[in-house]
Amino acid sequence: MKFEEFPFDKKTLDAIGALGYETLTPIQEKVIPIALSGSDVVGQSCTGSGKTAAFSIPIAERMTAGKGLKVLVLAPTRELCIQITKDMKDMTKNRGMKVVPVYGGQSIDVQLKKVGRADIIIATPGRLLDHLRRGSISLKDIEILVIDEADRMLNMGFIDDIRKIIRATPEDRQTMLFSATIPRPILQLSRKYMRNPKCVEIPKEVDNPDIEEIFIQIREDEKFKMLMFLLDSEVPTSAIIFCNTKTLTDTLAENLKCQGYDAMAIHGDMRQAKRERVIKKFYQKKLTLLCATDVASRGLDISDVSHIINYDVPLDPENYVHRIGRTARIGKKGNAITLLSPSGHQAMRGLSVVRRHVEFTEVEGFNPEMYAPLDPKLHSKGGIRPNKKRGRGRRKFSKGRRNFRGKYIRYSP
Ligand code: AMP
């Protein structure tokens, strides 16, 4: 269905048009009419489905600027919080609404100045509770509460915080809850705090036919070499390489840099300002490879990441869905490559929850001799810094491999 066929206000249609959206996504078709009617809604949807617009469009339609804080959106991570703020601003900018993000890591004084004038607050639970304790934010006039990525909030231990926050809002508010899965505590939360919510379910993203998924079995000590082989043969325009630990993210990025690739790391131990700088570079296509922990797997709204590479199999199977959801965003094709070493088999069993049938791809043309091994001592903090001219191992193994194009058989689900 086209947006113009919907009886939206001209301001909303203009904002949607400026974003270049023409057709509603399935979750938008289902959620928007319910949200506009004022009913509570539970949206079981995955990342990349267009769910932010599914709640920001009705909010823009129903709310007016300058009436005080009426809308609260809760998100699990800073990155998602920043992303939703941007989307919400885009959607409400021609209505003069003030959208303010509230998240940890940013100076509370800066936030204190802004929150007083907010019409809409997008918050992570911890920092919002700080403000509630200080009395700098009051939720007593909230009319719409959105809880985004509720399952992630649960996994991150925010469930009690969320209960506290809900209790600080009026009972007659409208509540919209979005979650990729609905585990029991989330179901209980919706039963306790929502009024006859209408449930909307959108198929799991893991079935997205636009994502070509391949799984490669590889020895642990050859993973890094395989990664370089894949980067050389696939030549991704923009890729996120996921690792399970912050240290590995850092080590991998430094090793890749040493081998002449354009890579940077992003993880939770980095200062917020640095993280934002890295994300910006990646957004602006000034950085090709982002080595990330799962912190970056949600909330990054980059529509044309060509490749997701799971250097490590995610420990939580749900994260697999979220990771690969960074590619093949609406209307685009994407590749998701998962490297599986024997030590990753345990995690792989978990993966069978979301990916019932896994077939391995035989990689042809991979010659480990042509690549440098991973140097575990290379990492940015206190590690050995790559020497731009005579970097350790640089070029030594890479001679001739730039023009090398391997072939391997692909597996499409
Ligand atoms: P989300 O699931 O909210 O993170 O959205 C995923 C991506 O889809 C974002 O890049 C949105 O800008 C984009 N998007 C959302 N709705 C539409 C639409 N109706 N048409 C095209 N792109 C959309």
In this predicted structure, the answer to whether residue 90 has a pLDDT above a threshold of 90 is: yes
Residues with CB under 6 A from ligand 1: 21, 23-25, 28, 47-53, 301, 303, 329-330
Question: How, if at all, do strands 144-147 and 174-179 pair?
Answer: parallel
Using DSSP's 3-state secondary structure scheme, residue 300 falls into coil
Question: How, if at all, do strands 239-242 and 263-266 pair?
Answer: unpaired
* Protein residue with least CA distance to atom 12, ligand 1: 50
* Protein residue with least CA distance to atom 16, ligand 1: 50
pLDDT at 360: 78
CB 202, CB 400: distance < 8 Å: no
Give start and end residues of each alpha helix (H) in 284-356: 317-324, 345-351
C-alpha 231/C-alpha 121 separation (Å) is 40
- The arithmetic mean of pLDDT across residues 120-132, rounded, is 96
Q: What is the CATH number of the domain that holds 232?
A: 3.40.50.300
pLDDT > 70 fraction of the chain, expressed in percent and rounded: 83
| DSSP bridge pairs for 146 | 73, 176
Provide the residue range defining the domain that includes 354: 208-412
At 243-291, the pLDDT tens digits run 999 999 999 999 999 999 999 999 888 888 888 899 889 988 899 999 9
> 324 and 288 share a domain?
yes
At 352-404, the pLDDT tens digits run 555 656 677 888 889 999 899 999 888 775 433 444 443 443 333 343 343 33
> 177 and 293 share a domain?
no
Domain final residue, candidates 181, 205, 229 = 205
* Protein residue with least CA distance to atom 4, ligand 1: 48
In this predicted structure, the answer to whether residue 299 has a pLDDT above a threshold of 90 is: no
Domain final residue, candidates 205, 227, 253 = 205
At 143-195, the pLDDT tens digits run 999 999 999 899 889 999 999 999 999 999 999 999 988 889 999 999 999 99
pLDDT at 406: 34
For residue 47, the ligand 1 atom closest to its alpha carbon is 2
Contacts of 113 (CB under 8 A, 6+ apart): none
Amino acid at 269: D
What pTM value is reported for the model? Answer: 0.61
**Among the ranges given (26-35, 124-133, 205-214), the one the predictor scored with the smallest mean pLDDT:** 205-214
> 176 and 199 share a domain?
yes
> 85 and 65 share a domain?
yes
At 31-51, the pLDDT tens digits run 999 999 999 999 987 666 789
Domain final residue, candidates 205, 223, 244 = 205
pLDDT at 101: 96
pLDDT at 364: 86
